[in-house]
Chains A and B, each alone.
Chain A
Amino acid sequence: MAAEANNVASRSSLLLALRAAARTALIAFGLLLPLIAFRAVHDIRNELVLETRWPLFAAFVAIAFAGRLLWELLPRESLKIRLAAFARAPGQLLSAAAACLVLANVLRLAAKSLADTDAAIALAFTYLFAFATFAFVIGAVGAWVIRRYPAGTETGRQRRHQIGVGLRTGALGFLLVYPLMLFWLAGSQGSIKWIDNFGIQILIYVMLGWGLNIVVGLAGLLDLGYVAFYAVGAYSYALLAKSFGLSFWILLPLAGILAAFWGVLLGFPVLRLRGDYLAIVTLAFGEIIRLVLINWVDLTNGYAGISGVPRPSFFGIPFTDGPDGFAARFGLEFNAIYRTMFLYYVILVLALITAYVTMRLRRLPIGRAWEALREDEIACRALGINTTTTKLSAFAIGAMFGGFAGSFFAARQGFVSPESFTFMESAVIVAIVVLGGMGSQIGVAAAAIVIIGGTELMRELDVLKAIFGRDFDPTQYRMLLFGLAMVVIMIWKPRGLISTRTPSVFLKERKAVSGAHVREGHG
């Protein structure tokens, strides 16, 4: 009797799983039909023709079906418990790391001896296992810390604090030696891309994220037009440097002040707006700035942009090949990488200044007023806080950092055009702040690394071509992955990577405030 009932139960669960999988496959069919199955391409006569990719489409739908079926049939609860137990045991994590390391090396050796395509696949898996090794080691260390120093006890708390300080110092040290280390490891040809695309590019977005964090994360004012201030900073530098020949170090603060001025200018009309309405108006403001940049051709040269923007010098010494250049003055051989390294350190210092200023402001009454504004504006007014000046100061300071980043951007590129300041940029910066956890500096930095580093990494993954075929271009899928990352974060951590809030002041002990209590702000 019992066995029969069991049999019926498992049969019905299989039926349910199949039904769920079929539903998923149907959704995948509907969504991917226009995206994957059809493609418009130019033929030889430059005419658009429709091309179909049925096998690829079928593969995607099949993956969706199989994935859902597997997900439904797995004993999830027990798996979850077992996984959690595994993640808590440092020894097991370390052995997993060791296994991954061995596998990665075996694959690397295999790749050497294999023919072209297979080698590329082996190489892809090598990367994967190397990454897994890294992740397992980090997990093992974390698990060891948690086990060794429980949160509840006094010594545990102290030790955790020490470890936190150590980690921060370590991260700072890493950032300081990063370009030198790469230069030493990969030489000037190999390292310039890594310093520029991964170092400078990520740090610009970290800085923008931290700047916007003041407005969105602390003051709770959803600003979808932040890129406007970035543009103001960039164009201020480009125009003033070209027309008046002023140096980068004079124009950097000037660009910040101009951007802050525009922040106040935007702030005034939107003071009374909240939530969605504020978001729409700030979005429009961003577009207005971009449209002005496009159409005011006399000043900005329109779509063509401004080229030949003076590059920053090493406090007056240009990075040129000649007797007065940086290399000659310091007795080095001329190399383009010195400029890149210098730019890296400039943006590093700028980003650190942003972080430091924000951290200090958070502990001052103005910072507390911003957060109080996010929590409850009416209560703020009842306590005698001038919400007008408080909001404007948040807009101005956030915009100022955007302006700094913008002028750095213009100096680094040597070229600015309206193309660089589209709504997409604003969306990416807002995504960084939201994914990172609104108000959390570490979270925002982590999100910037993941999003910007991830999209840059997509360019590098040529090995994927080996798996998906010669005409597979990984960069074309970065927006898809970007969206996927957003959905995953929304499900897994709806309040961002770091959802807790650190109090600005404490009486006995600094306890993190759970994200459940913290409001997100309604304008």
Chain B
Amino acid sequence: MTLLRVEHLTMRFGGLVAINDLSFTAERGHITALIGPNGAGKTTVFNCITGFYKPSEGRMALQFGDPAVWDEIEALTERGQRGLECRAGSLFLLERMPDFLVAQKARVARTFQNIRLFPGMTVLENLLVAQHQPLMRASGWSVLGMLGLPSYARAERAAIEKARLWLDRIGLTERADDPAGALPYGAQRELEIARAMCTDPVLLCLDEPAAGLNPSESAELARFLRTLRNEHAISILLIEHDMSVVMEISDHVIVLDHGVKIADGPPDVVRDDPKVIAAYLGVEHDEVSQVEAEVGL
């Protein structure tokens, strides 16, 4: 079942083409890895999906609930609407939505390559900010909360309980009342993922979660991501340079180079693809031009 469908995505910054006509799909309950050499355009793809960039061209559709909703996509595109929410399921055209709505309505959560926690707030507060939307609703957009109604206190207790659950999972319960900026690097990475999970996402976009981790921390991260997929039925879109992590946990790998998709398939197939090896390791000059001719550069 398809969760995310990216079609003919192109992103131009002035004359620079960062992504050129990229199409791929991410399946529900799968870990889809997006790999490629530095500057291949991976983070740009993330920024387009999460609404931080408006793509120059292309369509990005995300669906959850009943897959039958997919049939509405053409009608939706025609009507110029952002999305469709009904009881059976929801379908969103991400390129038409601002960033905060992508997170709020389409339930796409993300982490950042350079960690973006709220360093001066405690670990617990970080996880509560992630539950802003439900808490805001429970506090009656602050009006009922100001009056001190018990319904808000209940909602806040539930939110703290949820935060605590995630803290237990990443083993940071003891440090819940410490500022996030005081945590060691590896813990900050994990906290950022936990914070993203607190928004109740259907798609989790992780931008290099293993960057700066040592091998044992990387292995632990791989285990953690696998449990997320298996136990929480979450779909993950992953950018990663650490090939041991990528090959171990991904169900599907997409390889980008210079903004163009050069391979797409299960990890063991992609690993042996000559174009991928060429992109990563470099090859003799004539072979490069041959490969480039093949992919149309």
Contacts and interface: CB of A to CB of B under 8 A. Distances in A.
Interface of A: 357, 360-361, 364-366, 368-369, 371-372, 374-376, 378-387, 501, 503-511, 513-514, 516-519
B146 A513 contact: no
23 contacts: A357-B146, A360-B146, A361-B142, A365-B128, A365-B136, A368-B125, A369-B129, A371-B125, A376-B118, A381-B52, A381-B99, A381-B103, A382-B50, A383-B132, A384-B101, A387-B100, A503-B122, A507-B124, A508-B176, A508-B177, A511-B177, A517-B182, A518-B120
B103 to A, nearest CB: 4
Nearest to B105: A384
A365 B120 contact: no
A505 B146 contact: no
A384 B156 CA distance: 18
Counting chain B CB atoms within 10 Å of each CB, which of A503, A504, A508, A514 scores highest?
Answer: A503
Counting chain B CB atoms within 10 Å of each CB, which of A365, A368, A508 scores highest?
Answer: A365
Interface in B105-133: 109-110, 112, 116-122, 124-125, 128-133
B118 A503 contact: no
Interface in B127-151: 128-133, 135-136, 139, 141-142, 145-146, 148
Nearest to A397: B142
Interface residues of B, number: 48
Given A365-B142, A368-B125, A368-B129, A517 B119 contact: yes
Contacts of B109: 382-383
A406 B101 CA distance: 38
A509 B121 CA distance: 14
Interface of B: 50, 52, 99-101, 103-104, 109-110, 112, 116-122, 124-125, 128-133, 135-136, 139, 141-142, 145-146, 148, 152, 156, 160, 164, 173, 176-182, 195-196, 199
A503 B135 contact: no
Contact of B145 (A364, A371, A510): A364
B178 to A, nearest CB: 7
B160 A375 contact: no
A506 B125 CA distance: 8
Given A383-B103, A505-B124, A506-B124, A517 B160 contact: no
A365 B118 CA distance: 15
A375 B103 contact: no
Contacts of B176: 506-508
Given A366-B136, A375-B118, A383-B130, 7 more contacts: A360-B146, A368-B129, A369-B129, A382-B109, A386-B100, A505-B156, A511-B122
A364 B112 contact: no
Counting chain A CB atoms within 10 Å of each CB, which of B135, B164, B179 scores highest?
Answer: B179
B120 A382 contact: no
B147 to A, nearest CB: 9
A365 B132 contact: yes
Given A364-B145, A368-B125, A378-B112, A384 B120 contact: no
Nearest to A383: B130
A511 B124 CA distance: 12
A382 B116 contact: yes
- Nearest 4 CB-CB pairings of A with B: A518-B120, A384-B104, A384-B103, A517-B181
B50 A364 contact: no
Contacts of A501: 120
Given A364-B146, A511-B178, A371 B130 contact: no
A372 B132 CA distance: 11
Nearest to B175: A507
A136 to B, nearest CB: 35
A452 to B, nearest CB: 29
Nearest to B107: A384
A507 B135 CA distance: 17
A212 B196 CA distance: 32
B177 A371 contact: no
Nearest to B155: A365
A505 B128 contact: yes
Contacts of B121: 368, 371-372, 375, 503, 513
Contacts of B141: 366
Contacts of A369: 129, 132
Contacts of A364: 139, 142, 145-146, 152
Given A372-B121, A514-B179, A380 B146 contact: no
A438 B99 CA distance: 29
Contacts of A386: 100, 104
Nearest to B126: A372
Contacts of A519: 119-120
Counting chain A CB atoms within 10 Å of each CB, which of B122, B146, B180, B181 scores highest?
Answer: B122
A507 B182 CA distance: 17
Given A506-B177, A518-B120, A382 B99 contact: yes
A67 to B, nearest CB: 38
Nearest to B133: A384
B145 A517 contact: no
A386 B180 CA distance: 22
B177 A509 contact: yes
Contacts of B104: 384, 386
A220 B53 CA distance: 25
A506 B146 contact: no
Contacts of A374: 120
A366 B117 CA distance: 18
Contact of A506 (B99, B122, B179): B122
Contacts of B130: 383
B199 A383 contact: yes
Nearest to B201: A384
B113 to A, nearest CB: 12
Nearest to A501: B120
Contacts of A372: 118, 121, 129
Contact of B177 (A379, A382, A503, A518): A503
Contacts of B118: 371-372, 375-376, 379
Given A375-B118, A376-B117, A504 B146 contact: no
Counting chain A CB atoms within 10 Å of each CB, which of B50, B116, B160, B182 scores highest?
Answer: B116
A365 B182 contact: no
